[in-house]
Amino acid sequence: MRRSLRSQLLAWVLVPLLLLAALNGTASWISARDAADLVTDRMLAASARSIAEQAIVEEDLIAVVVPPAALEMFDTGSGDFVYYAVTDGAGRLLAGTADLPRWARDRTSGQPSSTEAVYRDRPLHLFALDHPIAGPGLEASVTVVLGTTLNSRDALLRHLWAVGFGQQLALIVTAGLFMILGLRMGLAPLLRLRDAVMARPGSSLEPLEAGAVQAELQPLVVALNQQLDRVQKQLAAQHRFVTNAAHQLRTPLALLNVQATYARRTLGSAEQDAALAAIQSGTQQLSRLSGQLLTLARAEPGSRRPRADRVDLGALAHRVLDDFAEAALAKGIDLGLEEQEGTTVRGDATMLGELLVNLVDNALRYCPSGSSVTVRVQRAGDDALVAVQDDGPGLPPSEWERVFERFYRAPDTPMEGSGLGLAIVQEVATAAGGRVLARAMDGGGLVVEVRLPAA
Ligand SMILES: Nc1ncnc2c1ncn2[C@@H]1O[C@H](COP(=O)(O)OP(=O)(O)OP(=O)(O)O)[C@@H](O)[C@H]1O
Ligand SMILES: [Mg+2]
């Protein structure tokens, strides 16, 4: 699968950022929990100490009075429950609840210890403190175990986490946004280059502009331009070859034709005449082919210097129809012109003439005697329209596109031809920035329409 550069870069930025955000969320949760636990432990320690310090020894007995202030400090508005148990060194309960959970702890260190446990279906944070008491003639100690439910601790944890994580998330999101912005800005010249290449007409071999892209991409554009230059040179060489070849063919073919005509007139027998007639028709076909090849080569991009003459299509059609008047008369075809004044385009006048010549030639060639052929020249919105329509045999829809291919002739076409006429029409139309299509006329027959940008 081809992945887009944009999504690939974006993935490389966004995935690590999201991982970082998740990691950061976990880390700040752990540190917030540690801080909240520490605060709870401190409160429990202070409370336990103030209880333990109330223990007094009276005649071998230890008495404990739990001061209310020691428990009130847990009344933070979170609805927490506080439980306590005060025991003597032998484990006898002196005050509080007897069933408060105990846990194994190292009493020798003298350090307070804390744990979490479930008591009366509530999770508790428990804290234990051993406190020595000295009385007259007695060395004893009490153990205070104090437990609180976790509402207040959890609220503190959530608050600490939200603040820490929120700040870091804001940082990550800002960094992400800037990265995406940078990515867009960085990729913009590349995308502009792509658009510029895609917007070029298919025949364009002009070099691409290298200045707009970043330094890393410049070698690519330069290499592309070198390649385009090579292709252009090759194409020009090929054009020169076809043009020269067609030129070279013309003269001997014309000579052959003249000689065959002369021989037919001066020599006698019917066999000789038939052979010479065949030679004559062959040379005429070859002449037509070389002529069409030459025109096609000239119509191709890069073969002639581009021209932007202002061409009056009506006047052009008049000239072409004048040239065909005699042939139309001879074949008994009614050749007419419908012209809208001032239909002008910009382009190569000679090649536009060739376009019209080929369309009229086809209509006269493929329509039987008695047909009518009309050349229409008119404005159509921003376009100039040239259409050559006839009421001849027409073509089936399957042929409407194929007839524009080089050397293609519709099956069973009766007349001779090289199959290059409509290819020439298409080349000329494309070079002038237009397009061409063939379709059926309503009452049978064919119309070929050329739309060019009006000037
Ligand atoms: N007016 C038309 N009516 C019917 N068929 C047509 C018409 N114009 C063109 N065609 C068909 O389209 C084919 C291609 O036309 P195109 O002008 O490209 O070649 P051609 O006329 O055969 O050869 P040439 O290069 O000598 O013009 C023709 O062979 C013919 O079958
Ligand atoms: Mg033709």
Question: Per residue in 196-243, pLDDT tens?
Answer: 888 888 778 888 887 778 888 888 889 999 999 999 888 887 888 788
By residue range, what is the domain housing residue 131?
5-158
Q: How far apart are CA 166 and CA 454, in angstroms?
A: 63
Q: What is the pLDDT of residue 189?
A: 86
Q: What's the pLDDT band for 1 if we cut at 50, 70, 90?
A: low
* pLDDT surpassing 60 at residue 341: yes
Ranges assigned E (strand) in 72-183:
82-88, 93-96, 113-119, 122-135, 138-149
How many residues in the chain? 455
* Structural domain contains residue 86: yes
Number of independent structural domains in the chain = 3
Q: What's the pLDDT band for 29 if we cut at 50, 70, 90?
A: very high
Domain boundary among 236, 269, 299: 299
What is the token pair recorded at 429? 């139309």
Q: What is the pLDDT of residue 137?
A: 66
What is the token pair recorded at 14? 């966004």
CA of 359 to the centre of ligand 2 (A): 7
Q: What is the pLDDT of residue 339?
A: 96
Query: Taking all residues of the chain, what is their mean pLDDT, rounded to a whole number?
Result: 89
Question: What 3-state DSSP class applies to 407?
Answer: coil
**Percent of the chain scored above 70 by pLDDT?**
99
- Same domain? For 254 and 333 the reply is no
Q: DSSP alpha helices (H): ranges in 108-206?
A: 151-199
Specify the higher pLDDT residue, 275 or 25: 25
Q: How far apart are CA 234 and CA 247, in angstroms?
A: 20
Q: Where does residue 121 fall: left (phi above 0), alpha (psi -120 to 50 degrees), or beta otherwise? A: left
CA of 123 to the centre of ligand 2 (A): 97
Domain boundary among 240, 268, 299: 299
* Structural domain contains residue 191: no
Domain boundary among 271, 299, 327: 299
Q: What is the pLDDT of residue 251?
A: 77
pLDDT in tens, 419-443: 999 999 999 999 999 999 999 988 8
- Same domain? For 378 and 279 the reply is no
* pLDDT surpassing 80 at residue 268: no
CA of 386 to the centre of ligand 2 (A): 17
Q: What is the pLDDT of residue 140?
A: 82
Q: What is the pLDDT of residue 111?
A: 76
* Structural domain contains residue 263: yes
| Buried b / exposed e along 142-171 (16+ C-beta atoms within 10 A) | bbbbbbbbbbbbeebbeebbeebbeebeee
Side chain identity, residue 11: A
Which residues, by Cβ under 5 Å, contact ligand 2, an ion?
362, 421
* pLDDT surpassing 70 at residue 322: yes
Q: What is the pLDDT of residue 2?
A: 67
* Structural domain contains residue 352: yes
Contact 228, 205 (CB under 8 A): yes
Question: What 3-state DSSP class applies to 297?
Answer: helix
- Same domain? For 20 and 134 the reply is yes
* Structural domain contains residue 200: no
- Same domain? For 289 and 324 the reply is no
Q: What is the pLDDT of residue 158?
A: 93
Which of 413, 436, 439, 448 for mutating ligand 1's site (highest number of atoms within 8 Å of CB)? 413
Q: Quick one: which H or E segment has residue 228?
A: helix 218-266
Instruction: Looking at the CA of residue 361, tell me the nearest atom of ligand 1.
Output: 27
Q: What's the pLDDT band for 347 if we cut at 50, 70, 90?
A: very high
Q: How far apart are CA 69 and CA 125, in angstroms?
A: 19
Specify the higher pLDDT residue, 264 or 80: 80
Q: What's the pLDDT band for 245 if we cut at 50, 70, 90?
A: confident
* Structural domain contains residue 167: no
- Same domain? For 315 and 405 the reply is yes
Contact 398, 408 (CB under 8 A): no
* Structural domain contains residue 169: no
Alpha carbon separation from 274 to 267, 280, 284, 293 (Å, rounded)? 11, 10, 15, 29
Q: How far apart are CA 165 and CA 233, in angstroms?
A: 64
Q: What is the pLDDT of residue 333?
A: 97
Q: What's the pLDDT band for 146 if we cut at 50, 70, 90?
A: very high
Side chain identity, residue 106: D
DSSP labels for 242-292? HHHHHHHHHHHHHHHHHHHHHHHHH---HHHHHHHHHHHHHHHHHHHHHHH
- Same domain? For 398 and 271 the reply is no
Which of 335, 361, 366 for mutating ligand 1's site (highest number of atoms within 8 Å of CB)? 366
Q: Assign residue 293 the CATH number of its domain.
A: 1.10.287.130
Instruction: List all residues whose CB is within 6 A of at least one atom of ligand 1.
Output: 288, 292, 358, 362-363, 366, 390, 392-395, 403, 409-410, 413, 417-423, 446
CA of 416 to the centre of ligand 1 (A): 10
* Structural domain contains residue 203: no
Query: Which ligand has the minimum distance to the alpha carbon of residue 417?
Result: 1
Q: What is the pLDDT of residue 399?
A: 96
Q: What is the pLDDT of residue 109?
A: 72
Residue 145 phi, psi dihedral angles, 5° rounding = -110, 125
Q: Which residues contact 382 (CB under 8 A, 6 or more apart)?
A: 453, 454
**Of 51-65, 67-81, 148-162, 351-365, which has the strongest mean pLDDT?**
351-365
Please name which of 391, 413, 412 lies closest in space to residue 333, comparing C-alpha atoms: 391
Q: How far apart are CA 214 and CA 93, in angstroms?
A: 82
Contact 38, 114 (CB under 8 A): no
Q: Assign residue 134 the CATH number of its domain.
A: 3.30.450
Side chain identity, residue 230: R
Q: Whose CA is nearest to atom 8 of ligand 1?
A: 362
Question: What 3-state DSSP class applies to 387?
Answer: strand
- Same domain? For 334 and 272 the reply is no
Which of 409, 424, 439 for mutating ligand 1's site (highest number of atoms within 8 Å of CB)? 409
Q: How far apart are CA 32 and CA 43, in angstroms?
A: 17
Q: Whose CA is nearest to atom 1 of ligand 1?
A: 363
- Same domain? For 245 and 335 the reply is no
Query: Which ligand has the minimum distance to the alpha carbon of residue 403?
Result: 1
Instruction: Looking at the CA of residue 362, tell me the nearest atom of ligand 1.
Output: 8
pLDDT in tens, 323-334: 999 999 999 999
| Buried b / exposed e along 366-388 (16+ C-beta atoms within 10 A) | bbeeebbbbbbbbeeeebbbbbb
Contact 377, 317 (CB under 8 A): yes
Alpha carbon separation from 181 to 213, 281, 427 (Å, rounded)? 18, 72, 45
DSSP labels for 258-270? HHHHHHHHH---H
- Same domain? For 286 and 425 the reply is no
* pLDDT surpassing 90 at residue 149: yes
Side chain identity, residue 129: L
Q: Assign residue 435 the CATH number of its domain.
A: 3.30.565.10
Side chain identity, residue 42: R
- Same domain? For 94 and 59 the reply is yes
Please name which of 195, 206, 258 lies closest in space to residue 228, comparing C-alpha atoms: 206
Alpha carbon separation from 117 to 75, 142, 221, 391 (Å, rounded)? 21, 22, 71, 101
- Same domain? For 233 and 90 the reply is no
Tell me which DSSP letter residue 205 carries: -
Q: What is the pLDDT of residue 392?
A: 94
- Same domain? For 336 and 265 the reply is no
Please name which of 408, 400, 405 lies closest in space to residue 440, comparing C-alpha atoms: 400
* pLDDT surpassing 60 at residue 116: yes
